[in-house]
Amino acid sequence: RFERAEIDLDALPVSDSTGAPTTLAGLLDETYTDGLLVLKDGKIAYERYFNGMAERTLHLSQSMAKSVTASVFGILVGRGLIDPARPVTAYLPELGATGWAGASVQHVLDMTTG
């Protein structure tokens, strides 16, 4: 569980997809967003749910998971904790006898493993 240090961002001025000014709350409503969580300094700064969603509601993430995963890997690469040129099996040796053998971390991130 994350600690909370909530900030009311509902009135935050943002632009919609056409560039017109709106608020964050307005944008979330206009885009049929189901939920938004903002972490700042390891604490929940903003958390809102819509359309019947709640904190523990399971939600199909589809391709959004790829963006989150790539962002996390970008942080790890930036900190020198993972090398995208190394084989996946350097980090997950149990994949050595699978179709992942020979694939680099970069191949996986680029979704070009075959």
Q: Domain boundaries in the chain? A: 1-59, 60-114
pLDDT score of 61: 87
The pTM for the full model equals 0.65
Q: How many Å apart are CA 76 and CA 86, to the nearest integer?
A: 13
Q: What pLDDT was estimated at residue 1? A: 85
Q: Please give the DSSP secondary-structure letter assigned to residue 15.
A: E
Query: Would you state the pLDDT for residue 45?
Result: 97
pLDDT tens, the chain, 114 aa long: 899 999 999 999 999 999 999 999 999 999 999 999 999 999 999 999 999 999 999 999 888 888 899 899 999 999 999 999 999 999 999 999 999 999 999 999 888 987
Identify the active-site residue in 15, 17, 61, 63. Answer: 63
| 17 phi and psi angles, rounded to 5 deg | -65, -15
The question of whether 63 is a catalytic residue gets the answer yes
Please give the Cα distance from 35 to 1 (Å, whole number).
17
Element housing 78 (H / E): helix 64-78
